[in-house]
């Protein structure tokens, strides 16, 4: 199939360059924007790459971009926050709207919070379809749980049902102020923690046309497990033996064709 892959560069408010890949052909009148999660990359992630390949076969364009400080984009990870990423998404969307009016979004993990934040600020947005993959909408619970795991690494009995027994909010607040919490690659931004330590982004999606939303979730997601969502979406694919990333071939076989059909129809 004849199509083009273009490098897109857009500056955010801080004049950092955000980079993305636009895949399109002459027949494409629709586009899907892929929104990646925490410390991830829209350009490089397998699930977005394969989804983009399938979309263009059906004459649907896609944009896979990286937020600042992630993947191929410029920036400092210490500055990452949902607020900043929301502003960046708004700039990316404005650029895409110069050519495309029929726009859908596919958001993963923290990217679903960014999308929720954008929709809260822009209630009249008219995305045709929305795909929420492993939505990490209940940030309060996720942050607390991951903190408990990091501070109790030798305790195998901690789970989502009992983690509160081990959570010390005073000590957690001290850790945030000391800026010592880390992932495998970065210090977790203090701004992000303060912004999200008491936040749940679920409510905004309850106000939308639910038939236009597809929820995809692995039944073995340990980062943002299905059971912490406080809302059930009518259109839902539960991926058997599915983890948080949903990229292993046996997982993708369960959601790729239904997600493609959802976007096309």
- The per-residue pLDDT for 206 is 80
177 and 204 in a common domain: no
Q: Which domain, by its residues, includes 189?
A: 139-199
247 and 156 in a common domain: no
Boundary of a domain, candidates 179, 199, 219: 199
- The per-residue pLDDT for 241 is 98
Tell me: pLDDT of 42 over 70: yes
157 and 129 in a common domain: no
Boundary of a domain, candidates 184, 199, 214: 199
182 and 64 in a common domain: no
CA distances from 35 to 12, 40, 45, 60, 113 (A): 16, 10, 11, 17, 10
- The per-residue pLDDT for 171 is 93
Give the DSSP H/E element, type plus range, for residue 131: strand 130-133
| Pairing outcome for strands 236-239 and 213-218 | parallel
208 and 86 in a common domain: yes
24 and 35 in a common domain: yes
Which CATH number does the domain housing residue 256 bear? 3.40.50.1820
211 and 177 in a common domain: no
221 and 169 in a common domain: no
Spatial distance between the Cα atoms of 68 and 129, rounded to a whole number of angstroms: 25
Q: What is the DSSP letter of 224?
A: S
Instruction: Identify the three-state secondary structure at position 259.
Output: helix
- The per-residue pLDDT for 230 is 85
Share of the chain above pLDDT 90, in %: 86
Rounded to two decimals, the pTM is 0.96
124 and 178 in a common domain: no
Spatial distance between the Cα atoms of 63 and 263, rounded to a whole number of angstroms: 14
The residue among 13, 64, 60 whose CA lies nearest residue 40 is 64
109 and 43 in a common domain: yes
- The per-residue pLDDT for 208 is 78
Tell me: pLDDT of 116 over 70: yes
> Hey, what are 39's tokens?
């410390």
**What phi and psi values does residue 74 have, to the nearest 5 degrees?**
-80, 170
Give the DSSP H/E element, type plus range, for residue 85: helix 82-96
Please write the tens of the pLDDT for every residue from 233-263. Answer: 999 999 999 999 999 999 999 999 999 999 9
The residue among 98, 131, 143 whose CA lies nearest residue 205 is 131
Please write the tens of the pLDDT for every residue from 14-32. Answer: 999 999 999 999 999 999 9
148 and 100 in a common domain: no
- The per-residue pLDDT for 113 is 98
- The per-residue pLDDT for 210 is 74
- The number of distinct structural domains making up the chain is 2
- Band (pLDDT 50/70/90 cuts) for residue 179 is confident
- Band (pLDDT 50/70/90 cuts) for residue 1 is low
Tell me: pLDDT of 184 over 90: no
Boundary of a domain, candidates 155, 176, 199: 199
- The per-residue pLDDT for 147 is 93
Average pLDDT of the residues in 182-187 = 88
Angle between helices 46-57 and 249-264 (to 10 degrees): 40
181 and 146 in a common domain: yes
Average pLDDT of the residues in 189-215 = 91
């Amino acid at each position: 199939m004849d199509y083009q892959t273009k490098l897109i560069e857009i500056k955010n408010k801080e004049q950092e360059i955000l980079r993305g890949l636009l895949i399109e052909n002459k027949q494409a009148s629709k586009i899907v924007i892929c929104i990646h999660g925490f410390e991830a990359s829209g350009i490089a992630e397998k699930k977005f790459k394969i989804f983009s390949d399938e979309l263009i076969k059906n004459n649907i364009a896609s944009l896979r971009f990286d937020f600042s400080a992630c993947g191929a984009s410029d920036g400092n990870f210490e500055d990452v926050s949902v607020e900043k990423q929301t502003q960046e998404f708004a700039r990316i969307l404005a650029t895409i709207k110069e050519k495309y009016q029929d726009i859908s979004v596919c958001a993963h993990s923290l990217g679903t919070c960014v999308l929720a934040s954008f929709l809260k600020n822009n209630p009249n947005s008219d995305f045709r379809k929305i795909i929420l993959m492993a939505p990490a909408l209940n940030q309060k619970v996720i942050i607390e749980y991951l903190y408990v795991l990091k501070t109790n690494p030798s305790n195998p009995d901690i789970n989502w049902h009992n983690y509160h027994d081990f959570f010390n909010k005073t000590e957690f607040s001290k850790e945030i102020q000391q800026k010592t919490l880390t992932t495998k690659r970065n210090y977790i931004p203090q701004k992000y923690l303060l912004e999200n330590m008491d936040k749940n982004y679920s409510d905004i999606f309850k106000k939308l046309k639910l038939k236009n939303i597809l929820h995809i979730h692995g039944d073995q997601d340990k980062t943002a497990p299905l059971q912490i969502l406080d809302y059930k979406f009518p259109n839902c694919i539960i991926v058997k033996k599915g983890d948080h990333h949903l990229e292993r071939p046996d997982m993708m076989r369960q959601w790729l064709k239904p997600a493609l059909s959802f976007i096309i129809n």
